[in-house]
């Protein structure tokens, strides 16, 4: 054992910091591409800075645009939540109408099977349900 415990701890800390920085770099590159308030030249400039001088570029980006980065993330999540709720409402409304039509047709078929409705009455009621 030629590797003391303190060196192992220090190595783990450095690996953790490197992974954290790498995660931040990926988030920043994603934010640069998604940002609508930057024109293409500004996006290119930020990407060049972040890729060519990674440590300095990440820290400068966080200092310059860190607050708006979180605001854009929150706005995007709110928009996704709103789209999800709209989709659920539309789907539930469509399935609800279909279920009511199916129930009505099942009741009509049952009445016809028991002889309570004639074929003509059944077809008229069915057309009214499906209309």
Show the domain range for 49: 5-130
Indicate the angle between helix axes 5-34 and 54-113, nearest 10 degrees. Answer: 70
Is pTM beyond 0.75? Reply is no
What is the C-alpha separation between 48 and 57, in angstroms, rounded? 9
| Residue from 38, 87, 95, 94 nearest 61 by CA | 38
Chain segment 68-102, per-residue pLDDT in tens:
888 888 998 999 999 998 888 877 766 666 667 77
């Amino acid at each position: 054992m030629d590797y003391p415990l303190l060196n192992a701890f220090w190595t783990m800390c450095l690996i953790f910091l490197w992974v954290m920085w790498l995660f931040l770099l990926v988030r920043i590159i994603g934010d640069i591409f998604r940002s609508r308030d930057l024109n293409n030249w500004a996006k290119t400039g930020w990407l060049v800075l972040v890729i060519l001088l990674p440590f300095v570029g990440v820290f400068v980006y966080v200092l310059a645009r860190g607050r708006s980065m979180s605001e854009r993330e929150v706005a995007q999540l709110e928009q996704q939540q709103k789209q999800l709720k709209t989709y659920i409402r539309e789907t539930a409304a469509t399935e609800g109408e279909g279920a009511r039509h199916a129930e009505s047709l099942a009741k009509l078929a049952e009445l016809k099977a028991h002889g309570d409705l004639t074929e003509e009455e059944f077809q008229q009621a069915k057309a009214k349900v499906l209309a």
